[in-house]
Amino acid sequence: MRRALRTLAARAWALLHRDRLDREFDEELTTHLELLIDEGRRAGLSDEAARREALRKLGQPNSIRERHRDQRGSRALDVLTQDAGYALRMLRKSPAFTAIATLSLALGIGANTALFSLVDSLLLRSLPVRDPDRLVQLRYGAGPAGFKKISPFFSQTQFDYFREHNEAFSELVGFASLDRPLVTIDGATEADPHVDQISNNFFRDLGVTPIAGRAPETSDDAVAILSYRFWQDRFGGRAEVLGRTITIDRQPFVIIGVAPRRFFGVALESDAAIWIANRAPMAQQVIARIKPDVSATQAQAGVQVMLNQLAQEQGERADRVGQAELVPAGKGLSQLRSQYERPLLALTALVVVLLLITCTNIGNLFMVRHAARKRELAVRVALGAHRSRLVLQYLVESVILAAIGGTLGWVFARWGVAILLSMLPLPFVPSALIFNGDWRVVAFAVATSLLSALLFGLMPAWRAGEINLGMLRANEGGGAPRAKRLSGVLIACQVGLSVLLLVGAGLFVQTLRNLSSVDLGFNPDGLLQILMDTRAGGYRQGQVGGVYNQLLTRLTGIPGVHSVTAVRNPLMRGLMSRAHYDIPGVELAPDESWDAAQVSPSFFDTMGIALVSGRTFTDTDATRDQFPVIVSESFVKRYLPGKDPIGVRLGQQQRTEIIGVARDARLSGVRVPSGVFMYNLLEKEPDRINALEVRFSGDPAAVVPAIREEIRQVHPRLLLSVTTMRRHIDDSIAKERMVAATSTFFSVLGLLLASIGVFGVASYAVTRRTNELGIRLALGASRGSVILESLRGTLVMFLVGLAGGIVAAVAAVRMTSALISDLLFGLRATDAANVVAAVALLILVTVLACLLPARRATRIDPLAAIRCE
Amino acid sequence: MLMWNFHRSVAGVHSKLDILQGTLDLMVLRTLATLGALHGYGIARRIEHVSGDHVILNQGTIYTSLVRLEQRGWIRSKWGVSENNRRARFYSITRTGEKQLVAETENWERLAAVMGRVLADEGQTR
């Protein structure tokens, strides 16, 4: 081995220094020739004759040079091409092995590359801007404690004030997404491109240089920059696009530049197609670059001071000023990041395990094949092949396998990323996340492939190094005990890793099942939730009730709509209000409160929440001094056990009366357990209404546009969104679905590979011992004992792997339980039933994998078996 | 060392030169072990001389052999000045080379003996 490496190194060196070595050899040859000429002269020849004689003795200098060069270097290449050719022939000769190996390897490498690509674009990669590490997003928290809302939006006044007065930032830029802009080019309307309005310094100060045209300057007004993709899709990448006019919401903009290919804006999930700068005031998100010598804390304090000063100047109340917050923005803003960071890392762990299984599996198949090839290899050694050549042979073979697997894996990775992205609850696939041939991803794929090749190639290569002539002996069927042991260890590893994979996947699958089968307490099918903002519509208290009545009439008039109800806060978004009332005969803690919703009378009908007793609200219930409430079953169980809750009066002045009890329902979100809950009747004139629930039948695609149109007619800025409740719930568990689906896929794959491994080793064990088993049968052994005997080794290693896998899995979930517990729902990471299920599944699959070899063991014809050697 | 060209023979490229090369390697090693550092001309002369001019070779072929042996670390070389005052590369045997020489010599003798017996056997049955 060492010698082979040494020769290889010498040759590589020689290849690299070809010219110098050529010159040196020429010199060496000339000296030789002259020494020969001298010899001739001494023998009394003439100069001319001596030269001729010398050349005759030396040989043709050119052909000598040629052969010298060959020996020096290019032979190394010869050897490699020879080995590669041989390896390809070997791979072609065993198509089943090659197919399983390359396919499983491609899936393993593909899965790893796909996840790396996502992890890279979401968690690792910085924005393609100048000094991304020092970029922060400004935000502020406003509202009383407990109801605090974080907002990233600043008014134009605030932004201008920041730019003028700050000392901590070297640059500040602002941007805002336009809401469904109407974009026309040459009179033709474009299909919903995303448009961001930006501050004029956006490109220049972020440090993004347009690949065509220029960035907006402070003096510019009504200019537009196109994204690379939009430029390609809409204008075919033509340069003449610069200077053309594009109309956005009826205002013309001159195209002055095209953004670089990899720049999609600062927000990862919004694909800006067009950026416009027109100096119009906007409610904007602010990105700032902290000066090198300023700390983040100092910068944050600075923003707070500015917020306070500005509020003071404008005469606002001090307690309404928000708390300034700075969030790192160098990797781009992302709504997905915080939610998907852990799921992605959990999946990464699973695919690494999968790749390990793949490598062990291929290593094992290699070993089995190696055992079959041992005699051939021994013959080669006998004929004079160096062991190093055999080792090299295996390495070349595994590198070729890895190269094929890696290439195929690249294709799989592309698909994998597309599939994973389609599972995200996003209206479109963001360019920033799609699979791209980034050099980091390429490097990762290549490194993974080579590492895998090394991992599974070294095992047989190492065995090949131990080939000796003894293996030529006629009856050498038994195989070295070490080979058997190594193969067994590999099986144990595969089984153990499979347990790990199955336990992980089991947790996520169970989580999804628990989430999907949660009893919501209401009927989410045929239900639409409309989010709206009465404040944005400009309605104040006293006007909201009127708007609601208008909407009610309009919406119930739409065909397919059965009933409509108003709620003050949207449902299933964790936005419930809190309520506190004195309850007669109950000692409440001072801060004890419960979730509550303000609903209109038709609420229970529309939602499909059953009343257990009492009655629902009526339109006449809302009076100035009587407040009817409906409570949940859990409320009764908790505070009024064994009593008749109907008619119980609550509150200090006892003006609140329980008129009904409703079934428990999860209205805050799928994950929030239903419990103590109270429904208040929405006042006749509420301060705002933020959601309508609509019970409908038929195709939502027909109903939704009609609803949109009706609301738009009441007020164009009222509507925020219309979604079916089912869709909203599905989206809210999209993360769990993605993790469950992906991990199921990977663990099925892992299980399949492990069973192939067990099958391979078990069949080999039977084949290898056909002779011996035949003798046993002939001597009267029972078929059962023969089966057991033939598979004993495999089973023992299986059990060892199983035990190891259980220990590893339990240790792994224990260690990571803090990390993965918020990915789980309805079970704990250390759930015992889950481990048991994984083990049971693995045993079942293994038994199936052993069935065929076992049957073969019993079918051995004793006579044939004994005769066969 | 005779086995060295195994791959060529597997590939089906048999030639007399191959065997000669292996033998030549052995002769070069022996020469260097006996005489110490020598340049290519010196080695070629010595082999011709010792073999009583029975081995007549293109002296150029010696260089292929030298490269091969050097690649394996059995000999090493350094530049020096020849007797006609020209720069020349001087080769000398290494420790591993000496070990190899012993092993290969045994091998060769065994092979020669076997060949002798086998050929003699052939001669009788004819």
DSSP, residue by residue, A754-809: HHHHHHHHHHHHHHHTHHHHHHHHHTT--HHHHHHHHHHHHHHHHHHHHHHHHHHH
Averaged pLDDT for residues A601-625: 87
Nearest-by-CA chain B residue for A57? B58
A284: amino acid identity, one letter? Q
pLDDT in the model for residue A866 = 66
Averaged pLDDT for residues A618-622: 79
Over its C-alpha atoms, chain B yields an Rg (Å, rounded) of: 16
Across A65-202, the runs of DSSP E, i.e. the strands, are: 135-142, 149-151, 153-154, 169-177, 183-185, 188-189, 195-198
Nearest-by-CA chain B residue for A33? B41
**Which residues on chain B are in Cβ contact (under 8 Å) with A63?**
60
pLDDT over 80 at A72, yes or no = no
pLDDT in the model for residue B19 = 46
By the 8 A CB rule, do A87 and A397 touch?
yes
Nearest CA distance, B10 vs chain A (angstrom): 9
B71 and A38 within 8 Å at the Cβ level: the answer is no
Residue in A5, A18, A35, A42 to test binding to B, most B beta-carbons within 10 Å: A35
Nearest CA distance, B122 vs chain A (angstrom): 22
User: How does residue B16 score in pLDDT terms, banded at 50, 70 and 90?
Assistant: very low
More confident residue, A541 or A510: A510
Q: Left if phi > 0, otherwise alpha if psi is -120 to 50, otherwise beta: which for B97?
A: alpha
**Element housing A15 (H / E):** helix A2-16
Range with the poorest average pLDDT among A110-114, A234-238, A692-696: A234-238
User: How does residue A563 score in pLDDT terms, banded at 50, 70 and 90?
Assistant: very high
Encode pLDDT of A431-458 as tens digits.
888 888 788 999 999 999 999 888 888 8
By the 8 A CB rule, do B81 and B90 touch?
no
Nearest-by-CA chain A residue for B71? A7
CB-based burial label for A355 (10 Å; 0-12, 13-18, 19+)? buried
User: How does residue A372 score in pLDDT terms, banded at 50, 70 and 90?
Assistant: confident
d(CA A225, CA A196): 10
Averaged pLDDT for residues A828-845: 89
Residues 375-414 of A with CB under 8 A from B: 380, 383-386, 389
Q: Is A10 on the interface with B (CB under 8 A)?
A: yes
Encode pLDDT of B24-57 as tens digits.
888 899 999 998 899 989 998 888 888 877 766 6
User: How does residue A209 score in pLDDT terms, banded at 50, 70 and 90?
Assistant: very high
pLDDT in the model for residue A820 = 81
Residue in B58, B68, B88 nearest the CB of A28: B88
A122: amino acid identity, one letter? L
pLDDT over 90 at A460, yes or no = no
Nearest-by-CA chain A residue for B4? A384
User: How does residue B3 score in pLDDT terms, banded at 50, 70 and 90?
Assistant: very low
Q: Is B40 on the interface with A (CB under 8 A)?
A: yes
Cα dihedral A479, A481, A483, A484 in deg (nearest 10)? 90
Q: Would you call A395 helix, strand, or coil by DSSP?
A: helix
Length of chain B: 126
A111: amino acid identity, one letter? A
A28 and B70 within 8 Å at the Cβ level: the answer is no
Nearest CA distance, A385 vs chain B (angstrom): 6
Tokens of A305: 């001071």
B61 and A64 within 8 Å at the Cβ level: the answer is yes
Q: Is A588 on the interface with B (CB under 8 A)?
A: no
Averaged pLDDT for residues A523-536: 88
Range with the poorest average pLDDT among A308-317, A525-534, A836-845: A308-317
Nearest-by-CA chain A residue for B56? A57
More confident residue, A868 or A339: A339
Q: Is B89 on the interface with A (CB under 8 A)?
A: yes
**Element housing A565 (H / E):** strand A561-567
pLDDT over 50 at B7, yes or no = no
Averaged pLDDT for residues A683-705: 89
- Distances in Å between the Cα of A624 and the Cα atoms of A66, A578, A603, A629 are 109, 21, 21, 14
pLDDT in the model for residue A146 = 47
User: How does residue A70 score in pLDDT terms, banded at 50, 70 and 90?
Assistant: confident
Averaged pLDDT for residues B81-90: 85
Encode pLDDT of A733-747 as tens digits.
888 898 999 999 988
Residues 77-136 of A with CB under 8 A from B: 79, 82
Q: Would you call A336 helix, strand, or coil by DSSP?
A: helix
Q: Is B15 on the interface with A (CB under 8 A)?
A: no
**Which residues on chain A are in Cβ contact (under 8 Å) with B58?**
57-59, 64
CA proximity to A691, closest of A669, A664, A722 = A722
More confident residue, B2 or A189: A189
CA proximity to A452, closest of A363, A332, A368, A523 = A363
Cα dihedral A786, A788, A794, A800 in deg (nearest 10)? -160
By the 8 A CB rule, do A451 and A108 touch?
no
User: How does residue A410 score in pLDDT terms, banded at 50, 70 and 90?
Assistant: very high
Residue in A32, A66, A69, A74 to test binding to B, most B beta-carbons within 10 Å: A32
User: How does residue A418 score in pLDDT terms, banded at 50, 70 and 90?
Assistant: very high
User: How does residue B59 score in pLDDT terms, banded at 50, 70 and 90?
Assistant: confident
User: How does residue A114 score in pLDDT terms, banded at 50, 70 and 90?
Assistant: very high
Q: Where are the alpha helices (DSSP H) in B36-93?
A: 40-50, 61-71
d(CA A60, CA B63): 13
Q: Is B56 on the interface with A (CB under 8 A)?
A: no
pLDDT over 70 at B13, yes or no = no
pLDDT over 60 at A665, yes or no = yes
B6 and A11 within 8 Å at the Cβ level: the answer is no
A58 and B61 within 8 Å at the Cβ level: the answer is no
| Eight-state DSSP code of residue A830 | T
- Distances in Å between the Cα of A848 and the Cα atoms of A310, A492, A745, A762, A843 are 74, 17, 20, 11, 9
Half-sphere exposure of A33 (CA within 13 A, CB side): 15
**Which residues on chain B are in Cβ contact (under 8 Å) with A71?**
64, 67-68, 71
B63 and A63 within 8 Å at the Cβ level: the answer is no
Average pLDDT, chain A: 85
Q: Would you call B85 helix, strand, or coil by DSSP?
A: coil
d(CA A231, CA A242): 10
By the 8 A CB rule, do A479 and A467 touch?
no
Residues 62-81 of B with CB under 8 A from A: 63-64, 67-68, 70-73
d(CA A509, CA A824): 9
**Element housing A638 (H / E):** helix A633-639
Q: Residue holding tokens 């026309």?
A: A184
Size of interface A-B (CB pairs under 8 A): 94
pLDDT over 60 at A778, yes or no = yes
**Which residues on chain A are in Cβ contact (under 8 Å) with B1?**
none
Q: Is B7 on the interface with A (CB under 8 A)?
A: yes
Residue in B38, B62, B70, B71 to test binding to A, most A beta-carbons within 10 Å: B71
Range with the poorest average pLDDT among A242-251, A475-484, A860-869: A475-484
By the 8 A CB rule, do A320 and A142 touch?
yes
pLDDT in the model for residue A202 = 95
User: How does residue A677 score in pLDDT terms, banded at 50, 70 and 90?
Assistant: very high
What pTM value is reported for the model?
0.73
Q: Left if phi > 0, otherwise alpha if psi is -120 to 50, otherwise beta: which for A94?
A: beta
User: How does residue A474 score in pLDDT terms, banded at 50, 70 and 90?
Assistant: very low
| HEC secondary structure over A587-605 | CCCCCCCEEEEEECCCHHH
B70 and A10 within 8 Å at the Cβ level: the answer is yes
More confident residue, A665 or A490: A665
d(CA A137, CA A328): 6
**Element housing A680 (H / E):** strand A677-681
Residues 668-707 of A with CB under 8 A from B: none
pLDDT over 50 at B14, yes or no = no
Range with the poorest average pLDDT among A87-101, A482-496, A539-553, B6-20: B6-20
pLDDT in the model for residue B2 = 37
A389 and B86 within 8 Å at the Cβ level: the answer is no
